[in-house]
Structures are given as structure tokens and as C-alpha cells.
Structure 1
């Protein structure tokens, strides 16, 4: 029996969507309240929209790079892409689940905030953050996208997240702008954990210097710097664990396709295991809603299966 075809428009707004949400998209609306959801006919033209079909999205050869550049281009130098519209077409029954996957991929362009980050001071932080990223360099463009995505994951996991941990999310990988802006070197480290600890410590120093120039309170800067300095190790400290969860989920939802292409299967296998170890078991439920490439999904399943066999929580 042939499935019924449909189309949904996902429109980013700078305010909570006021229009009624189709019942089947209730979870999408809860997760992304600043996205208006409108069901349309499957043959709608969709001028000036990013159009994606479910079959394209599910294809193992999906062009992640082109899709991401379209999303980043929609921001046009701003922090958030107000007016961005994605048209998703395909089997009507699959539209809600795939809409959630799509929005997870491009949430950096939605830029939700909370009371701690709704201020002119935080606007200045975001301007500074963007200014230090030379997006003409592909690896730096990827670092900027990841930083914003970690920030968005953080707010999804903890809507009341403090100012300090939001700053840590944005600046946690700032050290890469100095050492890995044109080529990555982590795969050559003789001791990966030592390499990551050094990256975190140097990043904390760089971030603290920048944030002090913005005249943020010393205690906030100190807290953000501490979180950055220690974020590469698993911890039960609540905010550090939160930052680790957000960083890990962003790796899977945003970075993993490019990472696999750049580093190859063996380093990717190690990275997947390392990242899952930093991700608390309750937060692993989000992996079910993330579109992973088949080879990355296989590595996730392999690593989780190995952990289960060792008696560790999945």
C-alpha cells in the first residue's frame, strides 16, 4: 500500500509560535517552541526555503556539507536565522520524526535563550564569539557551528542553565582556533586524554582573558574557566556533567559525519567510545532522535554493547 505523501514547513521565529500545532507534531513543538509548524500540500513551491525530502535525508550519501552551509548561510552573519524555513516532504506518517531530526541538526540557527542569556551583555558575548572565528576556514566554521550547537543542547537539557555554564559551552573549544584552525592534530597524540586535558586547560586561559575584556563578573568568568578547564573528563559535578552531555550530544548530532570523513574509521571508533563515556546514561536517550550515518550508528551500538558486556550502564 502506497504511503500518503505530505509536506511540512518548519519556520524559525524570534518568538514562540502562536499558530496551533498539528497534533502529530506535539513533541516537535515542545522541543522547539520557536519553530512554527505548518502542514502544506506536497507540491508547494517553497521559494527561498531549504527543501529536503525524507528519502534524501535518509540516504546514506546525504550531502551533510551542502545542507550545513545552507543553514549557516541563512544566518547571514547573525546569531540566529530568523525567517529560516525548511520544507520537508515525504511520507506523511514519517514527517514528525524526521522534522525532529532536521531541527536537531540545525538548532544552532534557532538560538534559544533563557533569562541568564537575554541581555545586551550576552549579545556582546555572542558578537565577540563570532568575531574570533574566521569562517573562511572550513575547520573554524565547523568549530563555530559546534560551539553554538553545544550551547543549544545545554539549554535543551537545562532550560535554567546558569550564565557561567552557557559561556563555557560557547568557548569550550576556543583553543582549537590557535592550534587546529587549518588542520587537525588530535589523531597524532600519543596520549589522547593528556592531549584533551591540555586543550581544555589552554582553552580556559584564552576564554577567561576574552571574557574579562567584556567586563563580566569575576566569579562568573572564574566559574566558566573552571568548567572549560575540566570539561574533557567525566564528572558528577552537575554543571560539568551538563556541559559534557551537551558537548557529547553535539558531537553525535552535528560533528560525527564530518569527523568520520576527516579522521577515518579507527580514530572515529575511539572518539565514539570516548564521547559515550562522557555522556551520562539518562542523556543517551537523545541518541534515538539523532540522524546518524550508518557507520557511526554501528560504532555507537558497538561501544554501548561493549559497555553492557563489561557491566557498565549503557
Structure 2
């Protein structure tokens, strides 16, 4: 688990010294900021912040280095190459990208039942397949976003975050087909409906109670459309934020610029405006950042014109 962030000159960057460090400690309360070599038992991944902050940096280049250490009992990221506020903001961006390794829990997810659910969820994924592994990491990341946005999230929303895209294990394990859909929303709705029934069957095998199974099924069925239900809105927020923080740069490599533009617009529409500020805490491939900024500007323009 990702438990430590090593930085040099700790006295100069103690959480609270800058707004970004305070924000980081609030967003990641289980990750300790420590001087290097604080725990000789930790597996350490050394990362160059100057490389991370480079204008043409693609975060996909770091993923194998960091995610390869996912099984470490205690993982430490050793950040070098920056100081002060620049280091603090880079640390927030880096932890945001790799938060699937943090493994935060609450009371609802700290039970033997949830451990069985996590184990079953992992067993479903053939990690030898790149797209399946990507879907697995996205599921963990969406789950972590749920708890990051709402630390008291109910069990059903956490389970729905894990299983919301499980249908892809049947329909898209080796290559994606969504860009061929003539009606994108209908395609996504069908994906959600099939995934919901598959999830309900899997939860039944694990003896999850009927009320929870039904709530999870309902959430997964509707997860491709925003709604007023608070749990559904939370799931949509988490799924959308995970797409941008973890998947968007790889999406842009896989699909055409036009389909990537459509996906960015579609996903942004599912994210409640109060969470738009979190998009600034993400390191994206340059072409994705441009697309996202364009979409955000389009959302702001009607309001700005009305004020003018």
C-alpha cells in the first residue's frame, strides 16, 4: 500500500507551510510525509518532479514504474527535483494519479465481506491483458475517488464503483469497440445494463444481502447518466474524475482525436460542477489538457455572456 511520501528538507515543506501541503494532507490523510530513509522496510520508488512538471510530459511513462510496486506492504514515493509549492503541487498530482495504491477504507469497507468482494473482483481480471489491467486499475481508482469525495460512503456505492465496468470483461477484453457505436449514449446504457445484471449475479454468489445487491444493481444500471440520487451522483463523479486522472491520457493514444473529444465532453457532463476544481490537480497528456480546457471554457461561456 502507498503509505509514505519522502521529500528532502522536511522542515521546509512540513504540511501546513503552504496551502498545497495542507490540501495534500487533507486529501490523503493516510499518506505520511517523511524525510528520506524514514522506513528501511518500505519499497521505494524514486521519482523526478522536474520530469513530471515538464510541459511535454506524458504520465503514462511513469505508470509501469509505480504500479509495478502495487503489492508492496509499505510503498514510499521518493520525490526529488523540486522544492516548496512546486513540490507540494506535484505531490498532490502524483498521489492523485496513483491513489489506487492508497487503499483507503471506511467502516463499510473494513469487513470480511468486503475483503471477499475485493478478492472476487481481482480474480475476474486477467492481468496479462493490457486493457483488462487498465479496467482493473480504473475500478480501484473510482472506488478510491468515492471515498475521497465522501469518506462515509455507503457499501453499495463502493461496490458499484468496483463493478461498474465489469461488462467490459466480456465485450472488450482485447480491443475497444465504443468508437463504432452510432448512438453513443445507447451503447453506454446497454453496457451499464449488462454490467448491472452480471454484478448482481456475482454478489449473489458471495452471499451479499438482497437489499445491497439491488441497490448496487440499480446504481450500475444508471451509472452512465447523471441523476439526483446522491449515491448515483457520487458514483458518476468518481467515475468521471477517475477517467481524467488515470485513463484520459491512454484513451487519447488509443482513439482518434475526434472520439477523444467526444469522450471528454461526455465525461465532463457527468461531473458535478463543484468538482471541476479537482481537474486542476491532475497531470494530463498535453493534448488531453487542451481538450479539457476547451470543454470547460464552453461550459463557462454562456454564464460569462449572461453576466456581460
Q: Deviations over 1:93-123 (max 9, x none)?
A: 2111110100001100111000000001100
CA distance in 1, matches of 2:58, 2:293: 23
State whether residues 82 and 110 of structure 1, in contact with CA within 8 Å, keep that contact through their aligned partners in structure 2: no
Say whether residues 1:127 and 2:122 are aligned partners.
no
Say whether residues 1:83 and 2:79 are aligned partners.
no
State whether residues 11 and 37 of structure 1, in contact with CA within 8 Å, keep that contact through their aligned partners in structure 2: no
Q: Deviations over 1:228-265 (max 9, x none)?
A: 00010111211111100000000000001100000021
State whether residues 2 and 31 of structure 2, in contact with CA within 8 Å, keep that contact through their aligned partners in structure 1: yes
Ranges in structure 1 where 5+ consecutive residues have no aligned partner: 1-9, 14-18
CA distance in 1, matches of 2:284, 2:15: 26
Say whether residues 1:205 and 2:200 are aligned partners.
no
Say whether residues 1:32 and 2:28 are aligned partners.
yes
CA distance in 2, matches of 1:306, 1:33: 35
Equivalent of 2:210, from 218, 223, 237?
A: 218
CA distance in 1, matches of 2:64, 2:161: 22
Deviation at 1:91, TM superposition (A): 2.2
CA distance in 2, matches of 1:22, 1:65: 28
TM-score (norm 1): 0.87
Ranges in structure 2 where 5+ consecutive residues have no aligned partner: 5-9
State whether residues 197 and 232 of structure 1, in contact with CA within 8 Å, keep that contact through their aligned partners in structure 2: yes
The answer for the alignment partner of 2:44 in structure 1 is 49
SS state of the match for residue 63, structure 2?
helix
TM-score (norm 2): 0.89
Deviation at 1:61, TM superposition (A): 4.6
Deviation at 1:63, TM superposition (A): 5.3
CA-atom RMSD in angstroms? 2.4
Q: For this pair of structures, how many residues does the alignment match?
A: 292
SS state of the match for residue 145, structure 1?
helix
CA distance in 2, matches of 1:128, 1:99: 32
Q: Deviations over 1:126-149 (max 9, x none)?
A: 000000000100000000000000
